[in-house]
């Protein structure tokens, strides 16, 4: 039951994080603060905090053990929150540098991106096949993983484009969906028993 409580709390945090990602997306898309400005520092600080918040959501997902209790399943699910912690370190690197150039900590961006892409896709497949999560929530990880992979194809350039901004918007909406799934998930291990009580 403790793992279920952790997942519920992480799902709630994830919903808030997802909504704030949408706010951050709107600021970046329509205001586009110049690098090094006060507004840039504020939005970058928010983005870095939200990267950490997303790691918390992924930790809650792992706590559900949605792909089973085996070592491989637990390791793959752990890769997701490790990936987002790596991205968080990259965000901290931007803040310390005061710009978005490559630096000692920005190497964590590609590390986090690769781990996150592989982790989410494999996790999504394992969760869907295992059927430990009931209902539509079983597919949320795979849907988010596919969306995360596709977004990467639109983010190749340094400057944002209409396509990359639209892809990011879809990603954040899918993140909210994943958070709701983690918050409301029912697993085969926490369903009430239907067997008659023994006297």
In this predicted structure, what is the pLDDT of residue 50? Answer: 97
Question: Which of the four pLDDT bands, split at 50, 70 and 90, describes residue 33?
Answer: confident
Res 1 pLDDT > 80: no
Instruction: Point out the least confidently predicted range of 63-72, 100-109, 154-163.
Output: 154-163
Q: Is 102 exposed, middle or buried (0-12, 13-18, 19+ CB in 10 A)?
A: exposed
Residue 48: count other Cβ atoms within 10 Å of its Cβ.
19
In this predicted structure, what is the pLDDT of residue 186? Answer: 86
pTM of the model: 0.88
Question: Which of the four pLDDT bands, split at 50, 70 and 90, describes residue 191?
Answer: low
- Evaluated on CA atoms 83, 104, 23, 156, the torsion sign reads negative
Res 195 pLDDT > 60: no
Task: Give me 73's structure tokens.
Answer: 């399943």
In this predicted structure, what is the pLDDT of residue 190? Answer: 54
How do the domains of the chain map onto residue ranges?
2-184
- Do residues 81 and 58 make contact, with C-beta atoms less than 8 angstroms apart? yes
66-105 pLDDT, tens per residue?
A: 998 899 999 999 999 999 999 999 999 999 988 888 888 8
Distance CA 142, CA 67 (A): 12
């Amino acid at each position: 039951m403790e793992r279920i409580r952790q997942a519920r709390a992480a799902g709630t945090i994830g919903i808030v994080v997802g909504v704030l990602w949408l706010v951050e997306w709107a600021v970046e898309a329509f205001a586009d603060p110049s690098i090094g400005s006060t507004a840039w520092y504020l939005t970058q600080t928010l983005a870095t905090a939200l990267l950490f918040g997303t790691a918390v959501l992924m930790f809650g997902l792992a706590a559900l053990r949605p792909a089973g209790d085996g070592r491989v399943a637990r390791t793959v699910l752990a890769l997701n929150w490790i990936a987002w912690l790596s991205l968080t370190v990259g965000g901290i690197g931007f803040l310390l540098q005061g710009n978005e150039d490559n630096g000692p900590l920005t190497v964590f961006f590609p590390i986090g991106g690769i781990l996150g892409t592989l982790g989410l896709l494999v996790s999504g497949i394992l969760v869907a096949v295992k059927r430990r999560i009931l209902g539509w929530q079983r597919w949320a990880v795979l849907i988010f993983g596919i969306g995360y992979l596709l977004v990467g194809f639109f983010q190749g350039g340094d400057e944002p484009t209409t396509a990359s901004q639209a892809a990011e918007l879809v990603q954040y909406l899918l993140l909210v969906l994943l958070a709701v799934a983690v918050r409301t998930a029912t697993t085969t291990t926490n369903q009430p028993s239907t067997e008659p009580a023994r006297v």
